[in-house]
Structure formats: structure tokens, C-alpha cells
Chains A and B, each alone.
Chain A
Amino acid sequence: DAGVIQSPRHEVTEMGQEVTLRCKPISGHNSLFWYRQTMMRGLELLIYFNNNVPIDDSGMPEDRFSAKMPNASFSTLKIQPSEPRDSAVYFCASSSIQGHQPQHFGDGTRLSIL
């Protein structure tokens, strides 16, 4: 199993630009989670999907952030326009929809907004 695959691994862009982060969950997993990690705030849940449907997006910081899951094997997290305070590591994780199952994390995208 290839695990959760995220791209790109690193992204450096200027403020105001649109940023798109991508995630491919583990095959057969039907829950997908987007997290943001910073030194100050730790690991924050932004949004999660079950069976491609967004369940809770209360962690999305602002309207500049949006996420989609058009099918069971692909999700995107978009920031438009980006700001320097969006700089962080963004992780995608997936798990089985059945309760009491671990989440498996991708390698993350390290985002730097200049």
C-alpha cells in the first residue's frame, strides 16, 4: 500500500497567489481529514470528509480556504488569496469510516507564503 500521498511536498509562493494542495487517500478508506500544523497552534483539524461529503468544516480558518473531494481517491485544499500567516505544514490523513480506526497521515505539504 502506497499510503496517503500528498503533493506538492514543498510550496513557496508570494502572498496573494492561489495555492492548491492535493491528497490521495489510502484505497478503501472513506474518511479524509485535512490538518494544519504550526509551532504555535499544534495540529489543527481543518475539515473532514466521509464518503466524499464534507462533514465538518468548522476548523477552516477563513473563507479564503476551501476543500473539495470530487471522488474517493482525490481531495484538494485551496487557499485563495494566500497570506504569510497561512505558512504551515498541511497534512492529509485517511481512515476507515468504521469507528475506532487510526488515521494514517501523508508526508505533508510545507507551505511558505512570502
Chain B
Amino acid sequence: GENVEQHPSTLSVQEGDSAVIKCTYSDSASNYFPWYKQELGKRPQLIIDIRSNVGEKKDQRIAVTLNKTAKHFSLHITETQPEDSAVYFCAADLIMNSGYSTLTFGKGTMLLVSP
């Protein structure tokens, strides 16, 4: 099955700095990599995703990069703001022979942005 490792587990930055969260996955058949943001007491919410035919995707202050050869992908947040403080989860999709797919999640990164 798929195994997703996420680092770091905690990340503290000053407002305005950049933050980078990295994930590796084990199954080369994975083709879809979403990122979720979970604020305290809230549900995980999709913030950006990338598919294997794309190496990089950007949406305002957040960007995701994917290296399929090395089987790793990263989330980049620029000009961080206190409201970016949350737990971020990466995930990798695996399509099984049956055609069904599931997501395997990383353990999460707690990002704290200090004013």
C-alpha cells in the first residue's frame, strides 16, 4: 500500500516569512496529491492539489511542487500571515486495480505564524 511521510511535524515562522512542508510517498502509481488545511476544531479543507502531469501549481501565496522521479512533493507558503496557522496534511491518491481510489494522508505539520 501507499506510505506518506511528512516533515516537519511542527514549523514556527515569523509573519512574512516563507514556510515549506515536504512529503514523500512510496507508490510510484500515485497520481494525485492534495493538500489540506485544518484549523483548530475545524474540518480538513482542501487548499491546493496537483496531478502527476504537472510539476508545479500556484494559487496566490501557496504553491505545490511535485517530483515524480524522487517521489516527493512540497507545499510552499509565501508571505505567511497569522491566519495561516493551522495543521497542514499532504496526501497521495492511489488508484487500485478495481478502479477505485483512496487517499493516504501524512501525519500533519503544525504551522505557527507569529506576528
Asked whether B102 lies within 8 Å of A107 as measured between CB atoms, the reply is no
Asked whether A100 lies within 8 Å of B31 as measured between CB atoms, the reply is yes
Contact with A along B21-51 (1 / 0, CB 8 A): 0000000000110101000001111100101
Q: Spot the interface stretch: B12-20, B61-69, B92-100.
A: B92-100
Asked whether A107 lies within 8 Å of B105 as measured between CB atoms, the reply is no
Interface residues of B (CB under 8 A from A): 31-32, 34, 36, 42-46, 49, 51, 89, 93, 95, 98-105, 107-108
Asked whether B44 lies within 8 Å of A43 as measured between CB atoms, the reply is yes
B101 surroundings in chain A (CB, below 8 A): 31, 99-101
Interface residues of A (CB under 8 A from B): 31, 33, 42-43, 45, 48, 50, 55-56, 91, 97, 99-108
Decide: A99 near B107, CB < 8 A? Known: A55-B100, A108-B43: no
Asked whether B99 lies within 8 Å of A104 as measured between CB atoms, the reply is no
- Measured between C-beta atoms, what is the minimum distance from A52 to chain B in Å? 13
Chain A binding surface, main DSSP class: strand
Most central of A50, A101, A102, A107 by chain B CB within 10 Å: A102
- Measured between C-beta atoms, what is the minimum distance from A1 to chain B in Å? 14
B34 surroundings in chain A (CB, below 8 A): 102-103
A99 surroundings in chain B (CB, below 8 A): 31-32, 93, 95, 99, 101
Asked whether A107 lies within 8 Å of B108 as measured between CB atoms, the reply is no
B42 surroundings in chain A (CB, below 8 A): 107
A108 surroundings in chain B (CB, below 8 A): 43
Which of B31, B46, B107 contacts A104, CB < 8 Å? B46
